[in-house]
Amino acid sequence: MVETRRPLSHSLLILAALGALHAPVLQAQPDRTAPPRPGPPPELRLPPIQHYGFSNGTKVVLLERHSVPVVQINLLVRAGTSMDPAGKGGLASITAAMLTEGAGPRGALEFADAVDYLGAQVAASARLYTTTVALHTPLSKLDSGLVLLADLVRRPAFLPGELARVRNEHLTAILQMRDDPDILASLVFKRTLYGEHPYGAPSIGSAASLATVTVDDLRIFHAAYFVPANTTIIVVGDITAAEIMPKLEKAFGTWSGNAVSPPPVPPVPQKREKTLVLVDKPGAAQSVIRIGRIGAARLTDDYYAIVVMNALLGGTFTSRLNMNLREAHGYSYGASSQFDFLPLPGPFVAAASVQTEVTDKALTEFVNELRGILEPVPDGDLERVKNYLALGFTGGFQSVAQIASQLEELAIYGLPDDYFNGYIGRILAVTKPDVERVARRYINTDDLAFIVVGDRKEIGERVTALNLAPATFLTIDEVLGPAPEGGK
């Protein structure tokens, strides 16, 4: 590296390095005329991803990480909320919740006590296509933890009394959604984009659908989807294949059951009309804004270009949305955007909470930025976000839980083992024309959905005067149904 402008300070820097061993140090005046240039970037040094399996069809993926004596096991099961039967919305979610409410020889309290006593954590939750049952445990407690994990997945009790209690918890959670403007906005946003399509439904279900869920529904759902051929066991932590495989074989090798084909998920809705929905939240100090449209599927060839384009628009602190709404105008604590990549095109959303008085102005700035990203992008901005995504990628592989969820994505989408190693190169290969092309394709401003949750009395007139789209006004009751009065 030649820096002819600063020969003096450079040689003194070397002196300072030597001086560290021979204090006191002859100190150089630091050169602050330009930010220091980084050296060559470090490489992602991931150990190999190992693949194993059992004759019953269960796949095993192992990544060794020997720094801290902990182990993460994520059982990824192809059982998700998109498989909820008609009228039984919330079944996959409540089935996941019920897995930890008693299993094998243990009732709900005994089971929880056993997990807690180990200092381990067990959690089960359902997404659209999959349920993840996760065990995080100190290495020293792995054997006991595995026994509990196998019981939970293979032998859940599904007791009627526990179901009644958990159902009431979920019903109360639905009631509490009324309090939270962020949850209301997301709910209305998804419903507006996807309608009755599974991508538009809240994973928790509704009060009406939960009322119909029985223990038999749970058993049928579990028997159909929680089977070996639907399952990938992802192991990350301070353990080798020779150590973990016999333990997994013992826990899951004799597991049996035949998978039922899940109902096909219909195509996502096609072109939509522009629409604006204002949900009245009287007295709200801010308006919660969600703007977007149906975006892209995970396996699109445009994936990397979209990631880069979104980083420019609203994916980083210095992104245009945040710089505009937060730094330039002071309308918000933060504005952002993201693409939710799913097997079918998931939502693209731009979001912020803004001060009530400036709701209309903030909406205008959102639209300006969504139009602005369709214009050619300055080279410096493009390089910055590409470097941010590429060079920062290694930081996402620290905790065993973090690595396990990265490996889940590989399993769900059938991505190759060298996917992580290729990521940086693919981001850096995105060109200016790529960004312009995906911006025009995915940030079409002709069919945006605008959702605002705020105080209609304060913002209604000024927001509709913007003529962004034909407006619909909803009350919280119209979004969630009337709140139940009293009683359990």
Q: Within positions 317 to 356, which residues make up the interface with other proteins, using CB under 8 A?
A: 317-318, 323, 326-327, 330-333, 353-355
Q: Could you write out the DSSP letters of every residue in 167-212?
A: HHHHHHHHHHGGG-HHHHHHHHHHHHHHTTSGGGS-TT--HHHHHH
- Residue 31, phi then psi, degrees to nearest 5: -85, 110
Nearest in space to 444 (alpha carbons), one of 277, 300, 274: 274
Quote the least distance from Cβ 344 to other proteins, whole Å: 31
Q: Report 136-165 residues binding other proteins (CB under 8 A).
A: 136-138, 141, 165
| Contact between residue 40 and residue 48 where contact means Cβ atoms under 8 Å apart | no
Q: Does 400 bind other proteins (CB under 8 A)?
A: yes
Q: Does 69 bind other proteins (CB under 8 A)?
A: yes
Is 28 or 297 the residue whose CB approaches other proteins more closely? Answer: 28
Distances (CA, A) of 475 to 277, 301, 352, 478: 10, 41, 21, 5
Q: Does 75 bind other proteins (CB under 8 A)?
A: no
Q: Does 440 bind other proteins (CB under 8 A)?
A: no
Q: Does 67 bind other proteins (CB under 8 A)?
A: yes
Q: Does 423 bind other proteins (CB under 8 A)?
A: no
> Which residue type sits at 17?
A
Q: Which of 273, 395, 446, 465 binds other proteins (CB under 8 A)?
A: 395
Q: Does 383 bind other proteins (CB under 8 A)?
A: yes
Quote the least distance from Cβ 155 to other proteins, whole Å: 19
- Classified as helix, coil or strand, 303 is helix
Is 175 or 374 the residue whose CB approaches other proteins more closely? Answer: 175
3-state percent helix, strand, coil for the chain, nearest multiple of 5: 45, 20, 35
Is 267 or 395 the residue whose CB approaches other proteins more closely? Answer: 395
| Contact between residue 310 and residue 347 where contact means Cβ atoms under 8 Å apart | no
Q: Which of 240, 398, 431, 475 binds other proteins (CB under 8 A)?
A: 398
Site string for other proteins, 226-245 (x = CB under 8 A): --------------------
Nearest in space to 333 (alpha carbons), one of 373, 293, 287, 369: 287
Q: Does 419 bind other proteins (CB under 8 A)?
A: no
Rounded Cα–Cα distance for residues 90 and 167 (Å)? 10
> Which residue type sits at 345?
P
Q: Which of 181, 198, 202, 295 binds other proteins (CB under 8 A)?
A: 181
Tokens of 363: 């909406």
Quote the least distance from Cβ 352 to other proteins, whole Å: 9
Distances (CA, A) of 358 to 127, 211, 465: 36, 42, 13
Q: Which stretch binds other proteins (CB under 8 A): 23-31, 124-132, 240-248, 293-301?
A: 23-31
11: number of Cβ within 10 Å: 11
Quote the least distance from Cβ 368 to other proteins, whole Å: 19
Site string for other proteins, 30-49 (x = CB under 8 A): x-xx-xx-xxxxxxxx----
Rounded Cα–Cα distance for residues 324 and 134 (Å)? 40
Quote the least distance from Cβ 448 to other proteins, whole Å: 23
Q: Does 20 bind other proteins (CB under 8 A)?
A: yes
Is 108 or 227 the residue whose CB approaches other proteins more closely? Answer: 108
Nearest in space to 97 (alpha carbons), one of 2, 40, 22, 171: 171
Tokens of 419: 């996917």
437: number of Cβ within 10 Å: 14
Quote the least distance from Cβ 90 to other proteins, whole Å: 17
Q: Does 11 bind other proteins (CB under 8 A)?
A: no
Rounded Cα–Cα distance for residues 325 and 149 (Å)? 46
Q: Does 25 bind other proteins (CB under 8 A)?
A: yes
| Contact between residue 345 and residue 298 where contact means Cβ atoms under 8 Å apart | no
| Contact between residue 218 and residue 166 where contact means Cβ atoms under 8 Å apart | no
Q: Which of 5, 6, 116, 195 binds other proteins (CB under 8 A)?
A: 116
Tokens of 454: 């705020």
Q: Report 255-314 residues binding other proteins (CB under 8 A).
A: 281-286, 288
Is 67 or 270 the residue whose CB approaches other proteins more closely? Answer: 67
> Which residue type sits at 478?
E
Quote the least distance from Cβ 20 to other proteins, whole Å: 5
Rounded Cα–Cα distance for residues 343 and 301 (Å)? 13
- Which residue has tokens 């962020």? 182
Q: Does 427 bind other proteins (CB under 8 A)?
A: no
Site for other proteins (CB under 8 A): how many residues?
94
Quote the least distance from Cβ 276 to other proteins, whole Å: 21
Quote the least distance from Cβ 348 to other proteins, whole Å: 22
Q: Does 473 bind other proteins (CB under 8 A)?
A: no
Q: Which stretch binds other proteins (CB under 8 A): 14-22, 243-251, 368-376, 467-475?
A: 14-22
Q: Which stretch binds other proteins (CB under 8 A): 73-81, 135-143, 210-218, 265-273?
A: 135-143
Quote the least distance from Cβ 226 to other proteins, whole Å: 22
The distance of Cα 147 from the centroid of its chain, to the nearest Å, equals 29
